[in-house]
């Protein structure tokens, strides 16, 4: 089966409302679009049943628009402004059903050679004494009449088209109306389940459909009209096997969906296993997911026997095994694998082992030859696979009940069902009428508290209500809602969240941490125009309190003010951020006087300034604008520097000249 799953990011648990998906044919594009059988599915005036699902997508028709037609008008099933009409052997007959223009509906028309019956959504809506039909040589059309008139066209979606050469009873119709068939049923002469958008006839007739025009395949939730299959294991001896799925120590990803309500976990109930216990993935004591390679290792995923659907993924990447449950990494271990022989689904590789067989349902089994990351897994869970995806070695969607389970990857091996001898002692295909996945916590966000105080934690569920707890298991909820405000904390504290929706609760709680960190010291020491932060080993940003801007480029613990004003430092450490009080700097040595041994000309300047040194001492130059931002800096200058100032903004600048034993400041004016 295919399920649409909600996505998970960060630390959340993916939990989902089941949206198992199913292909249908889309004839809604503009133009003349229809399907037709290759040959006539029926012959003569024999008994018959024609049934199908359709969704008219809200379209209205003012004429006899054909849902199903046959060559030479041998039979027609039509729609006229939401009213179902059928050809009764002589003329169009209007049924008692109306309002069929929206949503999915099931239609079945039968003729037992005594009466014709019409059923809509499992209810009889019309009957009439049967007339003569002649189907010999007449192909069937889907979405149009055989004459191909544009007014006869229906713009609708179609699925599960079935033709029988017998008149099915209402009980027989309803028994299979919301389920897929195997294709081998007695008297089934044409069957189009649209599996993965295929036009193939899965009955023995192999009477494939032919596409004309713009006909597309669309993905619809199974729950809208067709229920979803999975494989049920009895917990005693049921399992499936496939040879050579993965060998050696190669990289891979295993995926499956599972559901169990088992109460006994004295041993480990296998989801995946291998010959000679090469690798095991199972649910063990405490309904905890665990893996085996030489020894069992538990994950943090517990209480998985809640009767809800869950997803497991196991990746192997160069000796590292990573385990995900519902989209969350729940465990990791280092292993050396040497896989060979048979991979087992739902049991152990050898007979015996009471309590080691899975008790419940397994679905959507996927094997990849690459270690998929969490984003890959999430993207895959939220889509329907084609079977041609890169790296996909095997895909068992359980969509078509059969004696063996078909691999949707054309080059891969099928699964073989194994169980005790006798009727129905193999793992059984079952229909789940209400595939509900427990809700999940999609996102979580902790809090950082400096020294002491309160913090606000947050969590976002896929649906339902978030519950907050003080412990990972047990106890009562201490709060509900997407946010939780802690009491005053002096030490780091871990809280836990889950979510409740549809009477189901997340399988295990996710930790959310309120971290209490030692805050930084925001004090400043001052020596003239030199300011120093008392804090060490932190991130610093100096701030001009006058201009109310951070000073670009000054990120060390010390700042030398070149302009009188008020300054502060922003200190960041351990996730805490503090800002010091503003410190006043009055540095009166800055003047327009010339330096000893140095000249700056011209001042005021326009195009350039020239700094000259009258001795052989090397010197450094730094120029800042009035906000304190460094706009020029150069070191180890010998005797003279000519600086182009043509592109400088007009205003006052501070020039700093440093030698090996002294520092000078001066104002320069750019006009």
221-245 pLDDT per residue, tens: 776 777 778 899 999 889 999 988 8
Give the model's pLDDT for residue 58. Answer: 86
Give the model's pLDDT for residue 213. Answer: 93
Q: What are residue 381's phi and psi, to 5 degrees?
A: -65, -25
Assigned token pair, 509: 């709680």
Residue 543 has pLDDT above 50, yes or no: yes
Which ranges of 541-622 would DSSP assign to H, the alpha helix?
A: none
Task: Please answer whether residues 233 and 358 qualify as being in contact, where contact means their C-beta atoms are separated by less than 8 angstroms.
Answer: yes
Closest among 400, 26, 39, 86 to 189, alpha carbons compared:
39
Give the model's pLDDT for residue 313. Answer: 95
Give the model's pLDDT for residue 432. Answer: 72
Cis? peptide before 602, omega within 30° of 0: yes
Give the model's pLDDT for residue 2. Answer: 30
Average pLDDT score over residue span 195-206? 88
Residue 614 has pLDDT above 90, yes or no: no
**3-class state of residue 512 by DSSP:** strand
Residue 650 has pLDDT above 90, yes or no: no
- Whole-angstrom Cα distance, residue 123 to residue 108? 10
Residue with tokens 């100032």: 645
Give the model's pLDDT for residue 6. Answer: 28
Q: Longest C-alpha distance within the chain, in Å? A: 124
Give the model's pLDDT for residue 21. Answer: 66
Residue 592 has pLDDT above 50, yes or no: no
The whole model's pTM is what? 0.61
- Whole-angstrom Cα distance, residue 345 to residue 359? 12
Local confidence band at 10 (pLDDT 50, 70, 90 cut-offs) = very low
Task: Please answer whether residues 288 and 298 qualify as being in contact, where contact means their C-beta atoms are separated by less than 8 angstroms.
Answer: yes
Highest mean pLDDT, choosing among 214-228, 428-442, 560-574: 560-574
Local confidence band at 434 (pLDDT 50, 70, 90 cut-offs) = low
Closest among 305, 324, 307, 301 to 498, alpha carbons compared:
301
Local confidence band at 8 (pLDDT 50, 70, 90 cut-offs) = very low
Average pLDDT score over residue span 538-564? 87
DSSP label at 352?
Answer: -
pLDDT averaged over the chain? 86
Closest among 4, 33, 382 to 213, alpha carbons compared:
33
Beta strands in 574-650 (DSSP E): 576-579, 583-585, 598-601, 608-613, 618-624, 630-638, 640-644
Closest among 604, 621, 614 to 659, alpha carbons compared:
621
- Whole-angstrom Cα distance, residue 569 to residue 532? 9
Task: Please answer whether residues 68 and 142 qualify as being in contact, where contact means their C-beta atoms are separated by less than 8 angstroms.
Answer: yes
**3-class state of residue 174 by DSSP:** helix
**3-class state of residue 284 by DSSP:** strand
pLDDT in tens, 511-528: 999 999 887 888 898 887
Give the model's pLDDT for residue 5. Answer: 29
More confident residue, 217 or 496: 496
Closest among 44, 206, 49, 25 to 115, alpha carbons compared:
49
Residue 295 has pLDDT above 80, yes or no: yes
Local confidence band at 669 (pLDDT 50, 70, 90 cut-offs) = confident
Q: What are residue 525's phi and psi, to 5 degrees?
A: -100, 150
**183-188-194-199 Cα dihedral, nearest 10 degrees:** 100
Local confidence band at 106 (pLDDT 50, 70, 90 cut-offs) = very high
More confident residue, 489 or 404: 489
Give the model's pLDDT for residue 462. Answer: 72
Closest among 137, 135, 158 to 216, alpha carbons compared:
158
Give the model's pLDDT for residue 587. Answer: 58
Task: Please answer whether residues 648 and 657 qualify as being in contact, where contact means their C-beta atoms are separated by less than 8 angstroms.
Answer: no
């Amino acid at each position: 089966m295919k399920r649409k799953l909600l996505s998970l990011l960060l630390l959340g648990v993916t939990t989902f409302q089941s949206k198992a998906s199913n292909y249908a044919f889309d004839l809604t594009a503009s133009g003349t679009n229809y399907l037709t059988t290759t040959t006539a599915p029926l012959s003569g005036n024999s008994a018959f049943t024609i049934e199908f699902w359709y969704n008219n997508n809200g379209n209205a028709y003012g004429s006899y628009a054909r849902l199903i037609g046959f060559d030479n008008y041998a039979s027609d099933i039509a729609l006229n402004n939401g009213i179902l009409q059928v050809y009764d052997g002589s003329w169009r007959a209007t049924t008692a059903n109306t309002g069929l223009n929206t949503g999915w509906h099931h239609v079945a028309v039968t003729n037992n050679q005594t009466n014709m019956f019409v059923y809509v959504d499992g209810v009889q809506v019309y009957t009439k004494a049967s007339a003569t039909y002649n189907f010999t040589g007449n192909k069937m059309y889907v979405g149009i009449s055989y004459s191909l008139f544009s007014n006869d066209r229906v713009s609708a979606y179609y699925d599960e088209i079935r033709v029988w050469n017998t008149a099915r009873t209402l009980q027989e119709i309803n028994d299979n109306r919301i389920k897929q068939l195997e294709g081998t049923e007695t008297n089934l002469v044409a069957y189009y389940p649209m599996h993965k958008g295929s036009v193939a006839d899965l009955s023995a007739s192999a009477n494939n459909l032919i596409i004309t025009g713009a006909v597309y395949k669309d993905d619809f939730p199974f729950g809208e009209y067709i229920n979803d299959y999975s494989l049920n294991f009895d917990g005693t001896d049921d399992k499936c096997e496939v040879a050579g799925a993965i060998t050696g120590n190669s990289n891979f990803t295993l995926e499956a969906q599972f559901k169990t309500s088992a109460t006994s976990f004295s041993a480990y109930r296998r989801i995946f296993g291998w010959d000679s216990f090469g690798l095991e993935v199972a649910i063990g004591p405490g309904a905890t997911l665990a893996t085996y390679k030489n020894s069992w290792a538990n994950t943090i995923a517990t209480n998985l026997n809640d009767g809800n659907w869950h997803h497991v993924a196991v990746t192997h990447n160069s000796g590292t095994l990573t385990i995900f449950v519902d989209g969350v990494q729940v465990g990791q271990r280092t292993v050396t694998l040497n896989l060979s022989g048979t991979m087992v689904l739902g049991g152990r590789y050898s007979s015996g082992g009471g309590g080691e067989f899975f008790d419940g349902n397994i679905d959507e089994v996927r094997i990849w030859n690459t270690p998929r990351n969490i984003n890959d897994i999430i993207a895959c869970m939220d889509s329907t696979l084609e079977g041609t995806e890169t790296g996909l070695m095997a895909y068992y969607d359980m969509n078509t009940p059969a004696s063996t389970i078909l691999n949707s990857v054309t080059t891969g091996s099928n699964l073989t069902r194994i169980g005790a001898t006798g009727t129905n002692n193999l793992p059984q295909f079952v229909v789940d009428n209400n595939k509900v996945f427990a809700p999940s916590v999609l996102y979580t966000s902790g809090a950082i508290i400096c020294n002491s105080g309160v913090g606000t934690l947050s969590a976002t569920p896929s649906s339902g209500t978030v519950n907050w707890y003080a412990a990972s298991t047990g106890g009562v909820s201490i709060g509900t809602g997407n946010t939780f405000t802690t009491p005053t904390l002096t030490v780091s504290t871990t809280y836990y969240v889950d979510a409740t929706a549809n009477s189901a609760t997340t399988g295990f709680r996710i930790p959310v941490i309120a971290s209490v960190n030692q805050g930084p010291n925001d004090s400043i020491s001052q020596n003239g125009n030199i300011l120093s932060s008392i804090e060490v080993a932190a991130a610093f940003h100096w701030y001009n309190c006058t201009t109310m801007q951070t000073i670009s480029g000054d990120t060390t613990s010390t700042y030398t003010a070149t302009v009188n004003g008020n300054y502060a430092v922003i200190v960041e450490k351990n996730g805490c951020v503090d800002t010091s009080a503003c410190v006043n700097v009055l540095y009166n040595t800055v003047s327009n006087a010339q330096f000893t041994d140095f000249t700056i000309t011209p001042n005021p300047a326009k195009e350039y300034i020239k700094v000259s040194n009258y001795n052989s001492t090397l010197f450094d130059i730094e120029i800042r604008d009035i906000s304190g931002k460094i706009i020029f800096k150069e070191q180890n200058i010998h005797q003279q520097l000519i600086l182009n100032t043509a592109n400088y903004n007009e205003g006052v600048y501070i020039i700093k000249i440093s030698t090996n034993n002294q520092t000078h400041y001066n104002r320069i004016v750019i006009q």
